[in-house]
Each structure stands twice: as C-alpha cells, then as structure tokens.
Amino acid sequence: MLGASVLLGACYEGHSVGADGFGTDGPGPTASGEGGSDDDGSGGGDSGGPLSACGDTPSPGSAPIRRLTPFELDNTLLDLLGDDTNPAANLPEEGGSGFDNNAEVGAVSRLVAQKYMQMAEDVALRATADLPGLLGCASPSDDACLRSFVESFGRRAWRRPLEAGEVEDMLALYDDARSESDASTAVGVLLQAFLQSPFFLYRVELAGVDADDGAAVPLDGYEMATRLSYLMWGSMPDEALFAAAEAGELSTAEQIEAQARRMLEDPRAHRMALHFYEQWLLYRNLDVLAKDTDTFPAYTADIPGLQRREVEALITDVLWEGDGSLETLLTADYTFVNDALAEFYGIEGSFGPGFERVALPGQASGIVTAGGVMSVFAKPNETSPVARGLYVREHLLCQIPPPPPDDVDLVPPEPSDATTTRERYAQHSDDPACAGCHSLMDPIGFGLENYDALGRWRSQENGTTIDASGFLAQAGLALEDEAFDGPVELGQRLRVSPDVRSCVAQQWFRFAYGRTESEELDACTLEQVHARFEASGYNLRELLVDLTQTDAFRFRPTGAP
C-alpha cells in the first residue's frame, strides 16, 4: 500500500512515552488536549466542592499511558468504521495481574509495529470500498468535503478535535498520495495515517502537562470521555460523550456519574463486563481446552462453546436482569442451557436451541460451580482438587499460596478405577512437605468433587459416594476456618467472606485502571472503592459506577508515567 513505510516511521519515530505520559515532539494536542477551541472543555477548575473525596489534595496513584488492547481496537474500529471483521485478531495479547489491559507491561516491537501497519492497511482497504459513504460527501476532490472529513473523522479517531496544523498535515498527506494514485488509494493512505498514529493507538493524556512535578491534575473533557468510554464500553466515546466534553460537562463527580449510569444501559457495557469476567474467572480458556475423548466420549467439539455461553448467560442474568449483587453471583441456584447442553449435563426438559434458565437446587452455586469453570479447572481425564482449590483461593479470595519447595515431586497421583480422587490426593495431607500449602487448596477442591472433569454433576465416583466435605483454612488471613459440605455450602461461605468482597473490588481496580494497585499510592482510591462497594450492598453494577468516582479515575499525576 502506498506510503506504508513512511507512515510507520511517522507514527513510531519521534513519539515516545515520557514523564508526562507522551512525547511532545511532532504534531500533538495542546496542554488542554483540544485544538482551536475557546472552550477548553476541561475537567479542571473549581467545581464548587472539594476536588478529592480524601481531602483537598487528590491522590490518584500512577497513571501509565495505555495502549489499546486487541479487544479495544476491534470494538473501536467497529464503532468508528463499522468494521466487524475483528481486525486486531493477529495482534499479540499482552497484560499482567490477570488482565490484558495492564499498561505496566508490554512494548511495541518491530513485529508488533508491522502488525499495526498491516491492520491499518486492511481496514483502510475495506473502508474505502464505499468512498462516498465513508466521506459523507460526493468526492475528496472537493476541498471542503475532504477538510470536513479530516476534521470529523480525526475528532472521532483521535478522540479529540485536531489542531489546525494537524488538519493541514493530513490534507498535505492526501495531496502527496493523490499525486501518485487514485482518490480511493489516497484516502486509504490518509486512513492509515490516522490509524497508525499514537493518538489512535494510545490513550494520550496531556492535561496539566505544565504543572509542577508531583501535582495531581484533573483530566480535560476529552480525556475524561475516553476514560469513561473504555472503562464502560471497551471502545471509543459516542457523540453524547464528545458533546459533554466540548461543553465542559465532564468536570464534576456528579457529571461523570451521570454519564456512567447512562452508559451502563447500553449493550456495549454488557460486552465489556463479560471481557472482565472471562479473564478474572478464566473461562475464556474453554476456547483452547482439550479433554480426553477416550475417557469422555460425550465431550464433542461444540461443548466448550456451549459452556462459555452458559457462563456468560449466568453472569449477564445476574448483572443486568437480576439484582446485580455479588451474593447472587456466588450462590445462584440455577444455570442456563439449551437442548444440546442439557443433554450433555443430563438435565431433563425441552429447552430448544436458545439458552433458558433451569433451576438446580442443591447443586448450583453461581460462578463457583459453573460447568465451564469446573471444566477449565480440571485435568483432561479427571478432576483436580488442587486446581479448583487454587481457583477459589487465588481468583475469589485474592490469596496466593506460597510456591512448592524445590525438592517436592510435582507429579500428581495416577487415575485409578479402584479409588476416588479424594483418596488419591490424601497423600498431600499425609506428607509434611506438602501439607502446609495443600491445606489451603485441597480441602476447597474436595468440596467441588461433585462436578466431574467436564463440569457435570455426579454423586458417585467409581461406585463410591463422593465425600464433598471441606473447609476454608485461615492461613493467618481474615477468613475464619469454616467447614462446609458440598459446593452449595462452599458458595454460602464465600458469600459472606470479607476477603471475597475485597478481592472482587481489587480485581476490578486492576482492570479499570490498567495497573496493579499500590498500597501506598492508592490507599485513598482503595478506601473509596471499598467504602462505596459496601454501601451499595456489594452491588456489581454500582461498583462500575463507583470506579468512576475515585481519585485514580478523575485525576492524573504529573512528573511520572
């Protein structure tokens, strides 16, 4: 594609992440982040109340510059250009602390830069197939038409108005390309420049760039619109957010909350929430899960996809159709199946091809026992009390057991038709070298043994009635030692656990702010999130709104990335 190598150099050379979030060499936004507007639309100024819920001085913690993830790029290109081909599918997924949007890790290698270039070329080629539809006017030969497109498309692509110089640079790029090619190709080069720019690929924040190092500054309107849209939707702002930014109506906590509540009503919020849950609970691993079909001939190629839909239907029902509470998410005594999945689980009834709710009293306990989750945390040919116990310990309690000693044999006991899984794994409690760590995991996993390696309910294993008793070891943490019998009682123990409540808020902190929390720098924000989560009765929908009201969301520090 014409000009690709030149465009790549323009996008990645001369722009580097700096102390204030982004390099300022080359064309870029003003300190207010907006171009040529008398109304700076900023989030700063006197809002008539204290800047921070923690006192007069905001404490936002760190704010690393965030590059759009493949998930966010696909969503953005869908909203920007209507491209539904998942154009970012070939980009590598990065991340840390359990989520793909952690900005503290990852870098743009030459290979990744080439993939961005290829993505931009492919998207531009599809977009220019209908040139009048793209431009909104008859022809780019009309100077007014082309200028209007550059200004309007640029505002949406870069999530802020372009400066006058940036508009002229883009028009000059089109003229250069047009001198060597037809109009469609030249517009394609223009699109490539927009889509390879750091102002598209990154969430650039320059508000308060001239403030003293160490100061906490409010974001301008367009930066706040972008933070809101990528938290609530995993995509670019809509016109309502752009209009609010332009009018300076994203400056107060109340204005931000109102937009967050509006955005929760949009189906894009459902999509974004599921992206969080598929990473937190790791049920996305169903996409690559392998099972031993000799042991389990009923496990066909369509089962993982059906189980993914089951988990997502459950989460969606609790969050958007139900009461939205964490308690319900952990203890719901129902699931969702269609005819094929009901047959696989051995559930009687007629459900059709679509997923319908089915009650499973005495068996189901929300996400704790969801079939897809149980299948992920199991071996190809048998269950794994260790993996399931570790899932609860790490993902629901945010407690990381110590690693095993170097000299411990990590080979699990062999499957046997003569014994139960619990009997084979009893060696962990008998061996002093294993007991210390495994006492934190195995007794939890034993309580989930009523679910086989495929996530199906069972009452016996190898002719023996399953012993699903267990306990939650304290290990010096807030959760008391509590015995339980079976998965439903386990869910009830987790339902009232302060550690689970804290863990959910912590996981959302990491996802929402794209980084790992710091006890020192984020004490104020963590206090805000936990207090509001508790006040809401641990409502997960309200938690999303709560995350927009913190110092970490409303401000950025200067002098450090």
Q: Element (H or E) spanning 218, and its range?
A: strand 216-218
62-90: pLDDT as tens digits: 999 999 999 999 999 999 999 999 999 99
**The pLDDT value given to residue 312:** 98
The CA distance from 295 to 419, in Å, is 16
The CA distance from 218 to 30, in Å, is 15
The CA distance from 309 to 524, in Å, is 38
507-527: pLDDT as tens digits: 999 999 999 999 889 998 999
Q: How many CB atoms neighbour CB 7 within 10 A?
A: 24
pTM over 0.85: yes
Q: How many CB atoms neighbour CB 45 within 10 A?
A: 11
Confidence of residue 106 (pLDDT cuts 50, 70, 90): confident
Asked if pLDDT for residue 232 goes beyond 70, the answer is: yes
10-50: pLDDT as tens digits: 333 333 333 223 233 333 333 333 333 334 433 343 333 44
Asked if pLDDT for residue 176 goes beyond 80, the answer is: yes
Asked if pLDDT for residue 281 goes beyond 70, the answer is: yes
Token output for 229: 């849209």
The CA distance from 448 to 440, in Å, is 14
Q: Which amino acid is at 511?
A: F
**The pLDDT value given to residue 107:** 85
> How many secondary structure helices (H) and strands (E) does the chain include?
26, 10
b (16+ CB within 10 A) / e for 396-423? bbbbebeeeeeeeeeebeebeeeebbbe
286-322: pLDDT as tens digits: 999 999 999 999 999 999 999 999 999 999 999 999 9
Residue range 242-257: mean pLDDT, rounded? 98
SS (H, E, C) 377-436: CCCCCCCCHHHHHHHHHHHHCCCCCCCCCCCCCCCCCCCCCCCCHHHHHCHHHHCHHHHH
Find the range with the poorest average confidence among 17-21, 380-384, 438-442. Answer: 17-21
Give percent of the chain with pLDDT exceeding 70. 85
Residue 321: DSSP 8-state: I
Cβ 457 vs Cβ 420: under 8 Å = no
Token output for 479: 């959760």
**The pLDDT value given to residue 53:** 57
Tell me the three state secondary structure of residue 49. coil
Residue range 127-145: mean pLDDT, rounded? 91
Cβ 137 vs Cβ 149: under 8 Å = yes
Contacts of residue 290, defined as CB under 8 A and 6 or more positions apart, other chains included, come to 380
Find the range with the poorest average confidence among 97-111, 229-243, 413-427. Answer: 413-427
**The pLDDT value given to residue 141:** 85
Between 469 and 212, residue with greater pLDDT:
469
**The pLDDT value given to residue 433:** 57
The CA distance from 171 to 560, in Å, is 35
Cβ 337 vs Cβ 345: under 8 Å = yes
Q: What is the mean pLDDT of the chain?
A: 87
Cβ 221 vs Cβ 250: under 8 Å = yes
The CA distance from 442 to 470, in Å, is 8
**The pLDDT value given to residue 409:** 60
Asked if pLDDT for residue 207 goes beyond 50, the answer is: yes
Largest CA distance in the chain: 82
**The pLDDT value given to residue 210:** 77
Confidence of residue 1 (pLDDT cuts 50, 70, 90): very low
Q: Which amino acid is at 337?
A: V
Confidence of residue 270 (pLDDT cuts 50, 70, 90): very high
Residue range 172-200: mean pLDDT, rounded? 97
383-420: pLDDT as tens digits: 999 999 999 999 999 998 877 766 656 566 677 777 89
The CA distance from 399 to 464, in Å, is 33
Distances (CA, A) of 512 to 310, 408, 498, 502: 25, 38, 21, 15
Confidence of residue 55 (pLDDT cuts 50, 70, 90): low
The CA distance from 203 to 101, in Å, is 12
Residue range 458-469: mean pLDDT, rounded? 95
Residue range 229-242: mean pLDDT, rounded? 98
The CA distance from 208 to 370, in Å, is 47
The CA distance from 177 to 327, in Å, is 59
323-370: pLDDT as tens digits: 999 999 999 999 999 999 999 999 999 999 999 999 999 999 999 999
Distances (CA, A) of 36 to 21, 211, 288, 362, 394: 22, 21, 50, 64, 50
Asked if pLDDT for residue 205 goes beyond 80, the answer is: yes
Residue 69: DSSP 8-state: P
Helix axes 267-280, 221-232, angle to 10 degrees: 60
Contacts of residue 68, defined as CB under 8 A and 6 or more positions apart, other chains included, come to 76, 200, 201, 202, 203, 230
**The pLDDT value given to residue 444:** 95
- Strand 464-465 vs strand 469-472: parallel, antiparallel, or unpaired? unpaired
